Structure 1
Amino acid sequence: MANTLETLTAALLDAARKAGADSADAIAVDGTSVSIDVLKGKLEHAERSEGVDIGLRVMLGQRQACVSASDIKPETMARMAERAVAMAREAPVDPTVGLADAAQLARDWDIATYELADPEAEPAAAELEDHARRAEAAALEHQGISQVQAASAGYAQQRMHIAATNGFSGGYSRTSRSISCVAITGSGATMERDYYGDGRIFQADLDSPETVGRIAAERTLERAGARKPKTGAYPVLFDERIASSLIGHLIGAINGASIVRGSSWLRDAMGEQVLPAHLSIIEDPHRPRASSSRPFDAEGLPTQRRALVENGILREWTLDLASARKLGLQSTANASRGTSSPPSPGAGNLALTQGTKSRAALLADMGTGLLITSMIGSSINPTTGDYSRGASGFWVQNGEIQYPVNECTIAGNLRDMLRTIVPANDARPHLSRVVPSLLVEGLTLAGE
């Protein structure tokens, strides 16, 4: 019999039962990835990887252990199960350990409606190299671009299957295509760089290499002559390309694992206002052609559209079975896992309510302040929400961009920042996190 992912997970479960496990779940992942980098019109690096990874979690009562391997021989799986059971016997008792009840499991999904895999054949390495070359060439056509640091194109395909002794069995495939370019202007101490890249599930949706190179060059040239901004308290506009990081901090703070540990700055905020009253954050794991869509989570529970924040009010944590049991709640079907660890909670496709104004209109409303287009480093206190990051972008005065800035730091508190955000209308709908540019009032800016 062929070693399909379904037969591999079934074999792992059989091995677990024979080794003495009370219950178990198994995951098998088969992946292929190709990455091509070019430099100065020549191939710089080519990499291809293929492989199958398997993982097994066994439970003895309320003790559990996980093992993984990249060898799929029957004798290897038997040894894995034996070792996992031996490890579980020594593990501490955890009353929240356990599989989902059979009645909770996902059933009868139509994976085709999710459009997670491009039916087109894998692109040849020569095609990927051509796309990277064209992106580099398009960037270098712009006067003032001194060099291209990197131009890359890639493809990945992954198949996954999960099965458990509670009767669940399911899997699906994903594909992705990407092109990126990093351009440089100036030299020495005056050197500046910026980038652009696009990643899609379907090749037909991907930006052209010429578009990628052009935008990378235009962004880079805009940064020429950057200097430090003024120090003080100013409004800050987070450009769409980095605005999702702010929402990401909120999503991290409502993760069930952090709530259980009491280490979140939102640990006592359920039912309270965390965003302006007209804004919501919706998770939709069923959105077609989105990279985090899925019909079921890593514990076999059916995923569903839900409001994490509704009209500014925090409504739900992000939970897997274990964190839900610790909190006396129900799982929100947000379990994720790899082959070597047990499930843990994590959010997928997210969308913040978009505003009615363009980024340019928000700049005009801001008057004088900072437009941030990139950030480096991070100093965020997960317990208090105190926030500090290095930033670069553009100084804005009288609602218009004046000059590029770098080497500055912004600081504030996430709880206060998020309550005052004003969204633009420029979010890209194909991204997993659909978040527009965000205007935040009164951050502390450290520059010259």
Structure 2
Amino acid sequence: MTATDAGTVAPDDECADLLDLAAGVARQAVGGEQVEAFVGRSSYTTVKAHGGEVESFSSATTAGMGIRVVRDHRQGFAWAGSLDPDVVAETLAEARDNAAFAQPDEWVGLADPDGVAPVPFDAFDPAVAALAPERKVALALELEAMVRGGDPRITGVRVATFSDSSSRAAVASSTGIAGASRSAWCSMGVLALAAEGDETYTGSGSTVGFGPDDLDLDEAATDAVTRAVRLFGARPVSSRRLSVVLEPRMAAAVVGLLGGTLTGDRVLKGRSPFADRLGDTIAVPGLTLVDDPTDHRSFAAETFDGEGLACRRNVLVADGVLQGFLYDSATGRRAGHPSTGSAVRGVTSTPSVGCQALAVTPGAGTHDELVGAVDLGVEVQSITGWHSGVNAISGDLSVGVEGVMIRDGQRAEPVREVTIASTLQKMLLGIDAIGGEVEWLPGGTGCPTLVFGDISLSGT
């Protein structure tokens, strides 16, 4: 741990160097000007295996800086993929030029320190970067072989991958903000191909962890094989109203949709179905939704947001009641609300408000127990048409699904070429059960199984 002259403790020497660099740029602000520098350095590897051989191996290290300059309510931004001092100086000059030509916006400005103490978090495992390339290749090939041998109906593997990333970032501003953090993760994924007669299906499996020892190849392989083979014989069923069971990875799509409607920019633009519902009951009493990057079980856990403010736990829905929205500094000023530490960004972009680590508070029961409590329903394996069939402004939802029918608590025939339709508002008020087992997904969301009642299914 190394202290910097900005008064902030950086996780390691490299983070401290980045923070010193960002702070040096911020100190160049002149009278009437605000300057912010966001700097990052990362390395990553991706291995793809196919047909028992390495299809591709890519590895790279990148570094860059994004600079914002605000003067007279005009914001200029520029970025560069280099930390060379001359390039940094040119980037600052470009950001100043861009500010001079920008349209004025009374709400624009850098974040001010708000006194919220950062929650220490450092799950950085040096074993991620230290893992030998040969081992990464071996893992991808091993996963492919496990899937190929998982079931006689598996005819191939479209791709098996190993990916990892180690990154460090720092942000400093002339308003007195300074913060640095580091992160590392690795993941594996596989897409299995299965054939029987004239039917062909695919199934995906994945595993993710903060370090190589967290990866579970057996789980990823079994998941891919199971999903590839269990839909043989699937046919449409007749239209009806029934329950819909969404496992965590499927439920996360609905949770993400909800979270996306609760951001300050959507609310201010009137593009959220919940914009005027603060304090109202919008879901069943059992549903509590938080956006909490300080939850260290999340793969999106962070110490600082994109503007350098401390990340914090934001309760969006508590026992079904809408508690609030997410803001960065700009949307917060416009709404008359302090930032919730919810700015997201990269080196190449300016901050914007967004969800970081959504999580649903668990209820009770395993996935299988929740399936067993359903009289008539469908256990969804995949969703199609999500982007075209969902209107985040109105909440309308109509998507295609594949899965397995549930009859009297038992899994029955597989089903495909059917559509479920409802609205997000009705679905939230029609949740029949919330599972007790939370799965932390690669994007950072923590979600249990969700069971929605009285959903319209359109089939034959």
Task: State whether TM-score is above 0.5.
Answer: yes
Where in structure 2 are the equivalents of 1:17-36 lying within 5 Å?
A: 17=29, 22-36=33-47
Equivalent in the alignment of 2:209: 200
Amino acid at match of 2:199: T
Name the CA distance, whole Å, in 1 between partners of 2:427 and 2:63: 44
Partner of residue 437 from structure 1, selected from 449, 453, 458 = 449
Equivalent in the alignment of 1:309: 317
Deviation at 1:334, TM superposition (A): 0.8
Gap change, CA 1:366 and 1:214, over 3 Å in 2: closer
Equivalent in the alignment of 1:300: 308
Question: Does the alignment pair 1:236 with 2:236?
Answer: no
User: How many corresponding residue pairs?
Assistant: 441
Deviation at 1:337, TM superposition (A): 1.4
Amino acid at match of 1:195: S
Equivalent in the alignment of 2:61: 50
Name the CA distance, whole Å, in 1 between partners of 2:248 and 2:259: 17
SS at match of 2:268: helix
After TM superposition, the score normalised by the length of structure 1 is 0.93
Amino acid at match of 1:428: E
Deviation at 1:360, TM superposition (A): 2.6
Q: Which moved more, 1:347-356 or 1:312-321?
A: 347-356
Question: Does the alignment pair 1:76 with 2:106?
Answer: no
The superposition leaves residues 71-103 of structure 1 with CA deviations (integer Å, 9 ceiling, x where unpaired) of 22222222222221121122122111122334x
Name the CA distance, whole Å, in 1 between partners of 2:221 and 2:382: 18
8 Å Cα contact 2:298-2:440 kept in structure 1:
no
Deviation at 1:429, TM superposition (A): 5.0
Name the CA distance, whole Å, in 1 between partners of 2:84 and 2:363: 55
8 Å Cα contact 2:46-2:163 kept in structure 1:
yes
Question: Does the alignment pair 1:416 with 2:426?
Answer: yes
Name the CA distance, whole Å, in 2 between partners of 1:408 and 1:45: 37
The superposition leaves residues 134-169 of structure 1 with CA deviations (integer Å, 9 ceiling, x where unpaired) of 111111112211111111111111111111111222
Name the CA distance, whole Å, in 2 between partners of 1:49 and 1:223: 39
Deviation at 1:188, TM superposition (A): 8.2
Partner of residue 353 from structure 1, selected from 352, 356, 361 = 361
Name the CA distance, whole Å, in 2 between partners of 1:174 and 1:284: 16
Equivalent in the alignment of 2:52: 41
The superposition leaves residues 278-311 of structure 1 with CA deviations (integer Å, 9 ceiling, x where unpaired) of 3211333222252221222222222222321111
Name the CA distance, whole Å, in 2 between partners of 1:48 and 1:187: 38
Deviation at 1:426, TM superposition (A): 2.8
Name the CA distance, whole Å, in 2 between partners of 1:233 and 1:299: 46
Name the CA distance, whole Å, in 2 between partners of 1:300 and 1:172: 10
SS at match of 1:257: helix
8 Å Cα contact 1:235-1:442 kept in structure 2:
yes
SS at match of 2:130: coil
8 Å Cα contact 2:286-2:363 kept in structure 1:
no
Unaligned runs of 5+ in 2: 1-13
Question: Does the alignment pair 1:388 with 2:403?
Answer: no
Equivalent in the alignment of 1:190: 199
8 Å Cα contact 2:242-2:455 kept in structure 1:
yes
Name the CA distance, whole Å, in 2 between partners of 1:261 and 1:173: 34
Name the CA distance, whole Å, in 1 between partners of 2:198 and 2:35: 58
After TM superposition, the score normalised by the length of structure 2 is 0.90
The superposition leaves residues 407-443 of structure 1 with CA deviations (integer Å, 9 ceiling, x where unpaired) of 2221111001011112122322576322111111122
Equivalent in the alignment of 2:97: 86
Deviation at 1:328, TM superposition (A): 1.1
Unaligned runs of 5+ in 1: none
Name the CA distance, whole Å, in 2 between partners of 1:230 and 1:53: 55
8 Å Cα contact 1:272-1:314 kept in structure 2:
yes
Where in structure 2 are the equivalents of 1:87-106 lying within 5 Å?
A: 87-102=98-113, 104-105=114-115
Deviation at 1:186, TM superposition (A): 0.5
Name the CA distance, whole Å, in 1 between partners of 2:417 and 2:234: 9
Name the CA distance, whole Å, in 1 between partners of 2:123 and 2:100: 39
Q: CA RMSD in A?
A: 2.2
Where in structure 2 are the equivalents of 1:332-411 lying within 5 Å?
A: 332-378=340-386, 379-411=389-421
Gap change, CA 1:205 and 1:93, over 3 Å in 2: same
Equivalent in the alignment of 1:8: 21
Deviation at 1:6, TM superposition (A): 2.2
Name the CA distance, whole Å, in 2 between partners of 1:189 and 1:71: 53
Name the CA distance, whole Å, in 1 between partners of 2:358 and 2:26: 34
8 Å Cα contact 1:366-1:399 kept in structure 2:
yes
Q: Which moved more, 1:55-64 or 1:236-245?
A: 236-245
SS at match of 1:4: helix
8 Å Cα contact 2:52-2:141 kept in structure 1:
yes
Amino acid at match of 2:178: S
8 Å Cα contact 2:372-2:409 kept in structure 1:
yes
Name the CA distance, whole Å, in 1 between partners of 2:385 and 2:440: 27
SS at match of 1:55: strand
Identity across aligned pairs (percent)?
Answer: 26
SS at match of 2:134: helix
Name the CA distance, whole Å, in 2 between partners of 1:223 and 1:180: 20
8 Å Cα contact 1:36-1:125 kept in structure 2:
no
Name the CA distance, whole Å, in 2 between partners of 1:407 and 1:266: 32
The superposition leaves residues 344-387 of structure 1 with CA deviations (integer Å, 9 ceiling, x where unpaired) of 11222232122222323322332122111111222222221101
Name the CA distance, whole Å, in 1 between partners of 2:330 and 2:297: 30
